[in-house]
Amino acid sequence: MLLKCLLPFLSLALKVLGHNSTYQNPILPGFHPDPSCIFVPELDDTFFCASSSFLVFPRIPIHASKDLRKWKLVSNVLNRPAQLPGLNTAKRATSGIWAPTLRYRNGTFHLVTTLVYDDYAINATNRFDNFAFTSKDPYSSAAWSDPVHFDFPGYDTSPFWDEDGTVYVTGTHAWQVDPGIKMLPVDLKTGEVGETISIWNGTGASSPEGPHIYRKDGYYYLLIAEGGTGSGHRATIARAKNISGPYESDPANPVLTNSNTTAYFQNVGHADLFQDRNENWWAVALSVRQGPDGSYPMGRETVLTPVTWEEGEWPIFTNVSGHMHGWHLDSAPPVRQGEGSLVDSSVQINFEPGSVFPPEFVHWRFPTNGSYTISTPGHEYALQLKSSSANLTGSDGRSAEPAGQTFIARRQVHSLFKFSVTLDPSSLEMEEQEVGVAVFLDQLHHYDLGIVMLPPGTSNITSRTSNTTALIPYFRVRGITTVPAFVSPTLALTPVPSAWVGDSLNVQITASNLTHYALSAGPASRPYEQKIIGYGNGLGLTWGFTGALLGVYATTNGGAGEFDTYVKNWTYTGHGQIVEIPGAS
């Protein structure tokens, strides 16, 4: 009996290993959760993946690859504030754009997703806003349409075209109120909807969500996520002869999980299935790389695993790890079209006159017009930042600040890296004016290294110990986190050395291990004087749905005295991915 049960898995192993194709997870490192991927032979045998973006803007990145190894950012679906103005008012970091589903049909790309107002009551009728985008050119952000909204009181919506052309959308109601997977017919051109029905409640684990339907060998297969997006996360599957059910659960459920293991890759779930040019099956899923202290500040990433799916049988997924064997695919050059770079590229940005921000650059909610200008007259090859009153935490760590927050960043996409910029603090004159760099998860989880104007004698303990009205520049490291409870401490505070005052300053964030970030500074003209000012603990950035961003900010910390400051030599250098650690299996 045991041998009989193991035969499908042995068969998969032999087939995959026989092809001797290897790759490394995650395929989309860093903040790229809830993946949905497709293969489009009509576009030169290219794979495309979409992932969640929550409150960053531009939103919903689309990556493309020829060989499932080299992934290039080719466009952002949500790239114009007018497409979805409500994004700028959503509170909480868990609000925003949740799990998109990407599909291709008859020359058109369709992307269906949900804007979630996660601060609203769980049974509020306006908590979920569902809509669909289309494009005939996935390589152009501008080609993505305005959304067509449709009424569905839930999230994780996913379209399926039945054989008669009817489009059915599956999704999840607020699971605390009405758990289970729901389905309704939707006209994606007009937003008209039909009757909503319940089709499957899952296997009994919490939070049945993330549904996708596939048609194969006379069955409708329904793949979902269960167990929540934490340690109990998993993928489960059911099938039916009729799209409306009843759906029969796979006896082998869960079909994909690393729950209750010591694997480095944890929280595996929320999967999607697709085929390659040889009709072999693959699955993408989200996962985190959990460090020895339990931290995963890079957040939920996209992983890839091969699947065997024999005719009339249930699909069998390979367990996710860092080094994988998969179905054979010839190595291919990166996709040439599109607007961005390879997902794991190192980069140096010099803000050349006439240039624009790369599509990898993001803001927290919409940027404020006029706050970011490249190469202003007299400041060529620099980015001008106009300060905001709000700092990165804002008024309460949750709300959308009416005047915005001056912050621009990129995702952390390597376990080990160095991020550095050159800052000009000469325009800082008034108390609490500040410019700096941050590793930022959300408004309640970030570490900042700022150059800030304070009275002489200011210490970590008291705001000031001198009555003088003179101000001097300080280096200040602050950490905001709710892990394990909310704290907002000043981690380090030291005057800028007098020999450095008047010079441009190089400020850096580096990760040379799995648990901490080092924040350092030095005079730009004398890099050998660079010194560490303070540290940030990665566990303090392990929370919620997003992943670490690295960027620059300028703020008056709620005070008066708006100022302009300048950033040069934006450099991000990846120093390696850690995909396995001793003791993990």
Token pair 């999980």 is found at: 257
Q: What is the DSSP letter of 536?
A: E
What tokens does 18 get?
């026989």
DSSP string, 464-485: -S------EEEEEEEEEB-SSS
Please write down the HEC assignment for all residues of 381-403.
EEEEEECECCCCCCCCCCCCCCC
Q: Flag whether pLDDT at 16 surpasses 80.
A: no
What percent of the chain is helix, strand and coil (3-state, nearest 5)?
5, 45, 50
- Specify the pLDDT at position 1: 43
Contact 73, 59 (CB under 8 A): no
Nearest to 127 by CA among 139, 138, 116, 136: 116
Any idea of the CA torsion for 459, 463, 466, 467, to the nearest 10 degrees?
170
Contact 411, 541 (CB under 8 A): no
pLDDT tens by residue, 318-349: 999 999 999 998 999 999 999 999 999 999 99
Is residue 209 flagged as an active site residue? yes
Q: Flag whether pLDDT at 5 surpasses 80.
A: no
- Specify the pLDDT at position 123: 85
pLDDT confidence band for 583 (50 / 70 / 90): confident
Catalytic residue, candidates 67, 118, 156, 209: 209
pLDDT tens by residue, 273-323: 999 999 999 999 999 999 999 999 999 999 999 999 999 999 999 999 999
* Number of residues that make up the chain: 585
pLDDT confidence band for 585 (50 / 70 / 90): low
What tokens does 196 get?
């909503």
What tokens does 310 get?
């024999």
Cis ω on the peptide bond leading into residue 484 (within 30° of 0)? yes
Q: Flag whether pLDDT at 582 surpasses 90.
A: no
In our burial notation (b when 16+ CB lie closer than 10 A, e otherwise), range 265-300 reads bbbbbbbbbbbbeeebbbbbbbbbbbbeeebbbbbb
- Specify the pLDDT at position 486: 86
Written as one letter, the residue type at 298 is: M
pTM: 0.95
Nearest to 15 by CA among 283, 310, 248, 245: 310
Catalytic residue, candidates 34, 250, 434, 442: 34
What tokens does 572 get?
């991000």
Is residue 434 flagged as an active site residue? no
Q: Which residues contact 275 (CB under 8 A, 6 or more apart)?
A: 39, 281, 282
Written as one letter, the residue type at 206 is: S
Q: Flag whether pLDDT at 468 surpasses 90.
A: no
93 exposure class (CB count in 10 Å sphere: 0-12, 13-18, 19+): buried
Q: Flag whether pLDDT at 21 surpasses 90.
A: no
Domains and CATH numbers, the chain: 31-326 (2.115.10.20), 347-576 (2.60.120.200)
Beta bridge partners of 481: 487
- Specify the pLDDT at position 389: 98
d(CA 254, CA 236): 5
